[in-house]
Amino acid sequence: MKCPFCGELDNKVIDSRLSKDGNAIRRRRECIVCTRRFTTYEYVEEIPTMIIKKDGRRELFSRDKVRSGIQRACEKRNISMNIIEEFLDELERDLRESEEKEIPSSAIGEKVMERLHQIDGIAYVRFASVYREFKDVNEFVSELKNLSNKGEGSEVRGQGEQDEQ
């Protein structure tokens, strides 16, 4: 590690500890030449997950884009943000643990629809209507019939929340 003050490469570690968030190791170092101290952080290098879009383009996975789509589907529904964040944490963990570093956007969309189906039927249909790009009312009605045949989901919501009237 190069000293930020004199540029010398020779230094020693004085103290090491876990960072506050637990995602890095914080090290206090002292330069052997100028004796000044500085701090470095050591992180695990993660290979970013690439998403393969429908048109073949590739882009980095964006938790914010997925969150935005879910929030739009859940708008004016009594669904706790904690439930959405827990799902996003689980989704990111699954992507990190996956052997694949390029994942089709359709796989993520299907996971989101599956979870929304469990959480709230209305949010599921809203998301599905955009994701599956329904061309006409008949496709939308068909999905609603399919949903009503399966039941409306388990209605998992935030504690103490009630349905809107």
pLDDT tens column, 123-162: 988 888 777 776 667 776 777 777 667 654 444 444 344 4
**Contact at 8 Å (CB) between 124 and 111?**
no
Say if residue 77 is exposed, middle or buried (CB neighbours under 10 Å; 0-12, 13-18, 19+): middle
> What does pTM read for this prediction?
0.61
Residue 45: the pLDDT is: 76
In this prediction, residue 154 carries a pLDDT of 42
- pLDDT for the residue 44: 82
% of the chain residues with pLDDT over 70: 85
pLDDT for residue 157: 41
Give residue-wise pLDDT tens across range 64-122.
Answer: 999 999 999 999 999 999 999 999 999 988 888 888 889 999 999 999 999 998 999 88
Burial class (CB in 10 A: 0-12, 13-18, 19+), 111: middle
Residue 161 pLDDT: 43
Which pLDDT value is given to residue 124?
86
Model pLDDT for residues 39-53, shown as the tens digit of each residue: 999 988 778 899 999
Higher local confidence (pLDDT), 163 or 59:
59
Is pLDDT at 54 greater than 70 in this prediction?
Answer: yes
Three-class DSSP labels, 81-109: HHHHHHHHHHHHHHHHHCCCCEEEHHHHH
Q: What pLDDT is recorded for position 30?
A: 97
Q: What distance in Å separates the CA atoms of residue 53 and residue 56, rounded to the nearest whole number?
A: 5
